[in-house]
Amino acid sequence: MFQSRTHTCNELRMEHVGQKVKIVGWMENVREVGNNFAFVVVRDFYGTTQVVVESEEMMRCVKAINKESTISVEGTVRERASKNPKLPTGDIEVVPEKIEVLGRCRYNELPFEINRSRDADETQRLKYRYLDLRNPAVKKNIVLRCNVVSALRQAMTEHGFLEITTPILTASSPEGARDYLVPARKHPGKFYALPQAPQQFKQLLMTSGFDRYFQIAPCFRDEDARGDRSPGEFYQLDMEMAFATQDDVFAVLEDVLPPIFAKYGTYDIASEAPFKRIPYMEAMEKYGSDKPDLRIDLLVEDITALVQSTEFGPFAEGNTVKAVAVSGCTLTRKQIDKLCTDVEVQAGSKPYWFRLDENGELVGGVAKFLADRKDKLVEALGLQPNTLVGIAAGKKDQAVKTAGVLRKMLGAAVPGHMDKERYEFCWIVDFPMYEIGEESGELEFCHNPFSMPAGGLEVLLKAERGEIDPLSITADQYDLVCNGVELSSGAVRNHDPEIMIKAFEMVRLGEEDVKKKFPAMYNAFCYGAPPHAGIAPGVDRMVMLLAGEDSIREVIPFPMNKNAQDIMMGAPSEVTQLQLDELHIAVVGDVEE
């Protein structure tokens, strides 16, 4: 029993018939039948209850109330004459003796119909998010999020991890994205930064002697939005383990995540331990992606050598040509063309195709350029009649990317090649330590600069002496992928100052640069740091997968829009000149109205 009500709107059943009750909630709908008869639906967090108005007095009261006002209803429960088996409360109704307005809705028109808010324009939904969240279909994602976070906390605690919060105001550091800066009033001209991740703090905790740390950590990155990434702020299950290896980290998450996914997910099947481990280079070659969806049974094949010396320009020498063969394909020419257009939009490069028909002949697309090597293609790709072959061609990186998109789209479009109703996890391992920067043209860290290079100091020295190519160095880094979505990146950390300095020297940063950029961590490591490793799966992405949503904004209570604006609260917003003066900040240049 609640203080202001006897029952919730999802609680009343046949056993309550004849009882005097009091329910509270939002007046969702009114359906008038005659002069003094109406059906009123009252909704609260838990569900709905039907109230039947049968008197002139109650009808006058109801007519004076706008929909979505909050009301209390006192009355008697009775059995419905016409029951609704689709509702938990569908066997009963409440006949009111008193209806009181608790919070009046002052508008006759709503921005959108509450129960159909997901069909409304997203800008309207975000502007009136408090109304959008009244929709049970929207609310259930937030409830799911709460349950998942609670389950994660319980599981991590049971595995011996301590939940420790780390600072929100900290120093700016180069971690791959733009910082959100906060001016320091007491220190003119200096700024705090909101943490892109608790990376340095959790490593310092390991150096401090804590053995297992975790946190549902807020992270802040000034980056653009996309379907699986919210701009500005996101949350991750941040964890770190002292005296740990990659296998130790894997063992924890392989024990923690599958039961949660199986219990709370749209699908009740999740990978069992151990998850499949795929080296980065193998993932790119076989799947065309470092986040492969293993529910799809298609593979990418390299047919460069088979198709060179044809008259088709994109297959010319110097280009890489990749193929994805899809058996049992019954897509029409129109459907294939549409799919190729969609691939081009997503990958930035046009794909090609041909088909092996039921008679074993090459037809359609680029078939005429390949007729003289049909037998070799059939053998190399294991082609059967009625097989469609999608082709990506171009510079290697672009061909690989296009082939990966082809694989994903063909797997989803052709029946029998994707087991959709399951959660399939894998680890991507052995990432390159370094890469050539697109803008600089020089050697840069490929991912996390705090990772331990595989082979330690010795491999770095070999690269320095020119005995090996620095691009051949791999790092003890790993990604956790589920259904083609990257949930997390992690690594065995570089805890040795000597190895750290040498790793940074490879990208033209010396000891003084390391000390300047990472003073606390560098100094702490000089006092004896344990080997340690960690990872940080994204909570928002996890819940998005579990809820079966395509957009991450559907599982965040108050998300920003794609332009990193909170249009409900009006953020970012202008501030007063007094505030700027206190912070010693001047706004210069053109300011957008």
Q: What is the largest CA-CA distance in the chain?
A: 95
Q: What is the mean pLDDT of the chain?
A: 94
Query: Which three-class secondary structure string do you get for 274-342?
Result: CCEEEEHHHHHHHHCCCCCCCCECCCEEECHHHHCCCCCHHHCCCCEEEEEEECCCCCCHHHHHHHHHH
- Note whether 212 and 501 are within 8 A (CB): no
d(CA 254, CA 273): 5
Q: What is the pLDDT of residue 225?
A: 74
d(CA 185, CA 583): 5
Structure confidence by residue, pLDDT tens digits, 318-343: 999 999 999 999 999 999 999 999 99
Q: What is the pLDDT of residue 2?
A: 58
- Note whether 384 and 356 are within 8 A (CB): yes
Locate 48 and state its tokens.
């709905």
Q: What is the pLDDT of residue 13?
A: 97
Give the chain's domains with CATH numbers. 14-103 (2.40.50.140), 122-276+419-593 (3.30.930.10), 296-413 (3.30.1360.30)
Q: What is the pLDDT of residue 515?
A: 87
Band of residue 271 on the pLDDT scale cut at 50, 70, 90: very high
% of the chain beyond a pLDDT of 90: 88
Q: What is the pLDDT of residue 333?
A: 93
- Note whether 240 and 533 are within 8 A (CB): yes
Strand partners, 29: 41
CA dihedral sign, ordered 175, 177, 180, 181: positive
- In this model, does residue 240 exceed pLDDT 60? yes
User: What are the C-alpha distances in Å from 356 to residues 6, 20, 226, 325?
Assistant: 69, 73, 37, 10
d(CA 351, CA 507): 36
Q: Backbone phi, then psi, for 219, in 5-degree steps?
A: -130, 150
Give mean pLDDT, residues 202-224.
Answer: 95
Q: What is the pLDDT of residue 430?
A: 96
Q: What is the pLDDT of residue 592?
A: 57
Structure confidence by residue, pLDDT tens digits, 133-157: 999 999 999 999 999 999 999 999 9
295: which residues sit within 8 A by CB, 6+ positions away?
411, 418, 419, 420, 422, 424, 483, 484
Q: Backbone phi, then psi, for 53, in 5-degree steps?
A: -90, 125
% of the chain beyond a pLDDT of 70: 98
Locate 527 and state its tokens.
């006092």
What is the total residue count of the chain? 593
Band of residue 351 on the pLDDT scale cut at 50, 70, 90: very high
Give mean pLDDT, residues 341-346.
Answer: 95
Structure confidence by residue, pLDDT tens digits, 399-409: 999 999 999 99
Long-range contacts of 34-37 (CB under 8 A, 24+ apart): 35/59
- In this model, does residue 231 exceed pLDDT 90? no
Give mean pLDDT, residues 517-526.
Answer: 90
CA 428 to chain centre: 17
DSSP labels for 385-404? SSEEEEEEEESHHHHHHHHH
Band of residue 476 on the pLDDT scale cut at 50, 70, 90: very high
Peptide bond just before 351 cis, omega within 30 deg: no
pTM over 0.85: yes
Name the nearest CA neighbour of 431 among 443, 446, 441: 446
Residue type, 81: A
d(CA 227, CA 245): 33
Considering just the CA atoms, what is the radius of gyration of the chain in Å?
30
Structure confidence by residue, pLDDT tens digits, 285-315: 999 999 999 999 999 999 999 998 888 999 9
- In this model, does residue 456 exceed pLDDT 90? yes
